[in-house]
Amino acid sequence: MEKTHYIVALVEDRPGVMQRVSGLLRKRNFNIDSISVGATEIPGISRITMTVRGDRVVLEQVMKQLNKLIEVVKVSELNPKESVVRELALIKVSVKSADARAEVVQYANIFRGRIVDVAKRSMVVEITGDEDKVNAFIELMRGYGIKEIARTGKTIMARGTKTVAVREQ
């Protein structure tokens, strides 16, 4: 049965590592639905979070292929039901009137978003949450006219004491 898998790879922070990771998956014809990369608590180690769709065989192949890369320190699959999953979106919305501006601010507040930029005819709203929340806010903003959207990939962290860390703290 095909489902979305959340894979976290801890990798050495060196030029070209992300390209090798994504290239490896591309060569094997695996599609990455979402990817985000950032520094970790350990200097020199980055965390790549990917979502990949497929059955258990696809997941096992992806994990095996990632583990073959020299720069990969650790690979884990996280269960989204036992984790915190978030995405960030910046949405530039057209505001043609004071009423429209007030409505966008009100919607941003309801969604616990933040206004991060205001111009004469547009606003940039920052929304953080699960994919459904981000999508719902974007759909609301379509009526005002979306000028631009920038979204991060999903980021995931296990709840409780479980970690993906190389070493326990």
pLDDT above 90 covers what percent of the chain? 72
- Residue 69 Cα distances to 50, 129, 158, angstroms: 16, 32, 24
Structurally, at CATH architecture level, domain 84-155 sits in 2-Layer Sandwich (3.30)
pLDDT in tens, 95-144: 999 999 999 999 999 999 999 999 999 999 999 999 999 999 999 999 99
pTM for the whole structure? 0.84
CATH no. for 3-78: 3.30.70.260
Q: Where are the domains of the chain?
A: 3-78, 84-155
Sign of the Cα torsion 71, 152, 162, 1 reads negative
pLDDT at res. 169: 44
